Structure 1
Amino acid sequence: MASFDRNDVTLMAAPRSIPNTLTIAGSDPSGGAGIQADIKTLSALGTYATSVITALTAQNTRGVSGVHPVPTDFIGAQLETLFDDIDIDAVKIGMVASREVAEVIREALAPRRPSWIVLDPVMVAKSGDILVDDVGIAAVRECLVPLADLITPNLPEAAVLLGCSVPENRAGMEALVPGLRSLGAGAVLLKGGHLQGESCPDLLITADAITWIEGLRVDTANLHGTGCTLSSAITARLALGDALPDAVTTAKAWLETALAASSRLDVGRGQGPVHHFHAEW
């Protein structure tokens, strides 16, 4: 089994033209997660970020108090209008709560087939609460996972997708490999942040290999939007030309630095955001 060390990766030179990226997700007015975190990440890593909003939320660093879904036909109109004008190199898809939304996203992306589609299957809150009902889970699994070149579930989300218990160690993560491969995505990044210990190992699963991507556990309470941020960082690196293992390793290292720098921000009284612009500010 191969193993990648984030310190071994050399950043690739930027292409001559700046790639265009797209995030399809809900809005977080506190700016730490969702579409706002995605745009910050995609921009900080050197791509031109576009966006399609699927839901408006009323939330801050302490929680979500309301959700207002965008009408499905208007989500489709956003996608069609965008693709009619802009060449998109890579797409990140965030939380999808209904079959109708999943289907309109698939209908827009399948005929265009951007070079990379990254799906972050947001289904479980950090509290452990399930955010999407059974119909929404089935829609993501059936409509969007097979369309994706990479999906990035954490351990509870992988358990929801497969209908199994949450792994508690590396052996348990490896035991999910056959089931995750059977879902039909091009590759899977199974995130191990829920494991106990000083490290945060992730498991990159492709058609012909499984690779541990090692990482450090950063001692911080500012974890709001880390999943959104990591999947967007991977999307940006793929759009910039990285091979998949390098994109994951580089994005993971960048997120560690953003987490370590999060104490420089003073945002809210709850779980704060990572510092997306730690390299610029």
Structure 2
Amino acid sequence: MEKTLHIPKILLIGGSEPLGCAGIQADLKAVCACGGYGAAALSCIVDEDTHQVKSIHPLPAQLIVEQCISCLQSMDVDCIKTGLLYSAETVRTIGEILHRFNNIPLIIDPVFVGYAKTLLITPDVIETYQKYLFPLAALITPNATECEILLQRSLKTDNVQSELKELCQWGNYSIIMKSVFMEGKVCDYFYESKTDSLKAYSKVPIRKKDEGIRGAGDSFASSIATYLGK
């Protein structure tokens, strides 16, 4: 009997970005490139160019939730990935809904800062993530700056494993910390909480002339969600 190809269905929750290289636009491209089907619930509309984020316009939290429910009740979703959520109310209401669907793996990309370290959230978001969303996650994918925001201090790079273990205190998830610069190299670190193990992956740093590039974190987390969905 011929084996049927499973195309994973991924629910993406995040912001729209006009250039097509970040946010939901990047998410959908990544899911498609990895062989999945992407569905999306928009959380906000972002206006930005190659130099700066100009404005963020959040959608009503209830509308965001209704988009999620429409997707989750209409198709067999294999994985959920969140990106920019912006407000504490949005994070809380999404957490309350996703708690009802906690059998579906959840990848959280806690988008707190933009490519130029521009703050993209309201100040009360951090605690709401920790209380309502992180306990539901299978994996979170913050960059080094976002890890420092969660820790409320600078990273201690001489003991990365201990730092990432501390960042897993809000749930039974693993963590990938992206783009840690130290000792002349750039690394991503994967900490698996169930086995208390750490792996480091060196990568080529982005050249200075490419500083306008953004959306790598969005694409990365959406790719992981697609393969997890498989």
TM-score, structure 2 as length reference: 0.89
1:50–1:154 CA distance, 2 compared to 1 (3 A): same
Unaligned runs of 5+ in 1: 1-13, 241-281
Task: Find the counterpart in structure 2 of residue 162 from structure 1.
Answer: 151
1:149 pairs with 2:149: no
SS at match of 2:199: strand
Structure 1 vs Structure 2 CA RMSD: 2.0
1:129–1:64 CA distance, 2 compared to 1 (3 A): closer
1:55 pairs with 2:40: no
Say whether the 8 Å CA contact 1:98–1:139 is kept in structure 2.
no
Equivalent runs, 1:78-227 vs 2, <5 Å = 78-167=67-156, 169=157, 171-195=158-182, 197-220=184-207, 221=210, 223-227=213-217
- 1:219 and 1:80 map into 2 onto residues whose CA distance is 38
Deviation at 1:24, TM superposition (A): 0.3
1:213–1:234 CA distance, 2 compared to 1 (3 A): farther
1:69 pairs with 2:69: no
Deviation at 1:224, TM superposition (A): 0.6
1:135–1:194 CA distance, 2 compared to 1 (3 A): same
Deviation at 1:115, TM superposition (A): 3.1
Say whether the 8 Å CA contact 1:151–1:185 is kept in structure 2.
no
- 2:161 and 2:126 map into 1 onto residues whose CA distance is 22
- 1:203 and 1:75 map into 2 onto residues whose CA distance is 31
Q: Greater strand share, 1 or 2?
A: 2
Task: Find the counterpart in structure 2 of residue 3 from structure 1.
Answer: none
Deviation string 1:32-53 (CA, Å, 9 cap, x unpaired) is 1100000000110000000000
Residue 233 of structure 1 is aligned with which of 200, 210, 223? 223
Deviation at 1:114, TM superposition (A): 4.3
Partner amino acid, structure 2, of 1:93: T
Which stretch of the first structure deviates more once superposed, 91-100 or 177-186? 177-186
Task: Find the counterpart in structure 2 of residue 273 from structure 1.
Answer: none
Deviation at 1:99, TM superposition (A): 2.0
Partner amino acid, structure 1, of 2:18: P
SS at match of 2:106: strand
Partner amino acid, structure 1, of 2:228: L
Deviation at 1:199, TM superposition (A): 4.1
SS at match of 1:122: coil
Number of residue pairs aligned between Structure 1 and Structure 2: 225
Deviation at 1:137, TM superposition (A): 1.2
SS at match of 1:91: strand
- 1:87 and 1:113 map into 2 onto residues whose CA distance is 13
TM-score, structure 1 as length reference: 0.74
Say whether the 8 Å CA contact 1:88–1:114 is kept in structure 2.
no
- 2:151 and 2:191 map into 1 onto residues whose CA distance is 17
Deviation at 1:142, TM superposition (A): 1.2
Unaligned runs of 5+ in 2: none
- 1:192 and 1:29 map into 2 onto residues whose CA distance is 25
Task: Find the counterpart in structure 1 of residue 20 from structure 2.
Answer: 31
1:178–1:216 CA distance, 2 compared to 1 (3 A): closer
Say whether the 8 Å CA contact 2:165–2:193 is kept in structure 1.
no
Identical pairs, percent: 28
- 2:104 and 2:221 map into 1 onto residues whose CA distance is 16
